[in-house]
């Protein structure tokens, strides 16, 4: 049956949280795929100095591979916060953050690490030490 299972995996990963002005929750299910390829983030960014409170939620579809989705989960918030300091328009900062993820993923140092993970078949890619350290990701 190729990349699909004969029966779906229906167990769910559930999470919830609370910020100053928002309660949130989510759930993820692997389904028919051999591995869970998607990743998500749910962060309340209420303590950024000099900035109004806001929350950032996202689902990163694993079509580029689980390791790409995990990479975006790990680095998206930091890039958004960095760009938010330079940009008065939050929407523009968010768009630039997505473009920055693309730029970072095209960098050979990052891409080589992701290809290595893909080659050894580690599609869970959960441990933060399997990703490049934040200070090793190109600016």
Tell me the pTM. 0.75
Domains of the chain: 4-136 (3.60.40.10)
Tell me the per-residue pLDDT of 92-106, one tens digit each, with 9 for 90 and over.
999 999 999 999 888
Which residue ranges of the chain lie beneath pLDDT 50? Answer: 1, 122-129
Are 41 and 73 in contact by the 8 Å Cβ rule? The answer is yes
Q: What is the pLDDT of residue 73?
A: 92
**By CB neighbour count within 10 A (0-12 exposed, 13-18 middle, 19+ buried), where does 66 fall?**
buried
Residue recorded with tokens 């990052």: 110
């Amino acid at each position: 049956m190729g990349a699909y299972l004969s029966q779906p995996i229906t167990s769910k990963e559930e999470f919830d949280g609370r910020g100053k002005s928002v309660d949130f929750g989510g759930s993820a299910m692997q389904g028919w795929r051999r591995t869970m390829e998607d990743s998500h983030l749910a962060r309340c960014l209420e303590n950024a100095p000099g900035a109004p409170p806001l929350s950032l939620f996202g689902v990163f579809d694993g079509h580029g591979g689980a390791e790409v989705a995990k990479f975006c989960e790990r680095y998206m918030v930091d890039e958004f916060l960095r760009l938010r300091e330079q940009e008065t328009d939050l929407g523009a900062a968010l768009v630039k953050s997505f473009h920055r993820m693309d730029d970072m993923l095209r960098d050979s140092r990052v891409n080589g690490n992701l290809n290595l993970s893909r080659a050894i078949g580690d599609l869970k890619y959960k441990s933060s030490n399997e990703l490049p350290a934040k200070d090793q990701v190109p600016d």
